A = this chain, B = another copy of it.
């Protein structure tokens, strides 16, 4: 059994890691890190874990944790992981960072969009961007994996085959994204109160959301050109789920069959990406609680645009599920171990 430590285990993504690892046959959590709840019983913070997890919360001392654990998940605010990372830690334990600290290769871009100084840029180079379907082989060899953001996972996977195969004009790409509220975390803030979110929808971070450069970088690698996109996230009155609606001009002569073939080529053998049949579009509810990304598309001959749609559970494939998938790759486990979750409906 691989020994797992979680720093930030009482946030929503951390708690989802706990849920998923509870059902993992090769791993056991030995450290429930939570700066806010040190010494408190984990099941008192998350009552769903009553009689399942008996442990108390520990601190966020990664040096000590690295002595005890084989792998550390950091589900922490931006900057934390970079501020404590060291060669000593990485020489003892693998690290899967759910924050953005090692996602972006260009440290200037990271610092500009996040407004913080990166404390350990020397590890950015070796960090592998943990989008399993794209970087599987590198992840297998990684010591440090940068787990992708929720919006980015859904946005990139939905567009990836078309970007890679050159079927769309990358300059025309617009991503309109909609997320449930768990993506905002468990912090007590007025805008996330029930009464403020319920019966409401709004755009936020218009033109400035931090997931933008991450999407641009990855789709840039895929397409082989500099990518600059419009990305607009919206807050939806639901707990879980992300839906992205992407608009792009088709390159001359590209057919419906070309688009479907591209998806088949890249995702035909993927366990966690489901390309829906013609005329069916993804809905977040159909993937809730699971590690799936569902993808649909429609070509609009009137505008010569293709509309791509992707749906995913932001806490599973968009956070904890993908992190476990990365762990599975890094330790040579079956990739789907602990992730064979049937979506819960209704």
Contact = CB atoms under 8 A, between A and B. Distances in A.
B198 A238 contact: yes
Each complex incorporates copies of this chain amounting to: 4
A281 to B, nearest CB: 5
Interface stretch (A66-74, A97-105, A287-295): A287-295
Interface stretch (A115-123, A132-140, A227-235, A328-336): A227-235
Contacts of A199: 180, 198-199, 238-241, 284-285, 288, 346
A298 interface: yes
A337 interface: no
Contacts of A342: 19, 22-23, 48-49, 52
Interface residues of A, number: 80
A320 to B, nearest CB: 12
B344 A202 contact: no
A322 interface: no
Contacts of A245: 176, 203, 232, 234
A73 to B, nearest CB: 17
Contact of A201 (B22, B192, B193, B236): B236
Contacts of A215: none
Interface string A261-302: 000000000000010100011111111111000100011101
Contacts of A182: 195, 346
A188 interface: yes
A197 B239 CA distance: 10
Given A23-B340, A182-B195, A200 B238 contact: yes
A274 B194 contact: no
Contact of A285 (B50, B200, B230, B340): B200
Contacts of A229: 303
A94 interface: no
A46 interface: yes
Contact of A230 (B197, B307, B344, B345): B307
Given A176-B176, A190-B186, A190-B188, A203 B51 contact: no
A239 to B, nearest CB: 5
Interface of A: 12, 15, 19, 22-23, 46-52, 174, 176, 178, 180-182, 186, 188-190, 192-204, 206-207, 228-230, 232, 234, 236-241, 243, 245, 247, 274, 276, 280-290, 294, 298-300, 302-303, 305, 307, 309, 311, 340, 342-346
| A-B CB proximity, top 5 nearest | A200-B285, A48-B343, A195-B346, A202-B283, A207-B300
Given A181-B194, A195-B346, A199-B285, 11 more contacts: A23-B340, A47-B280, A48-B344, A176-B245, A186-B190, A193-B193, A194-B197, A202-B281, A203-B245, A203-B309, A206-B307
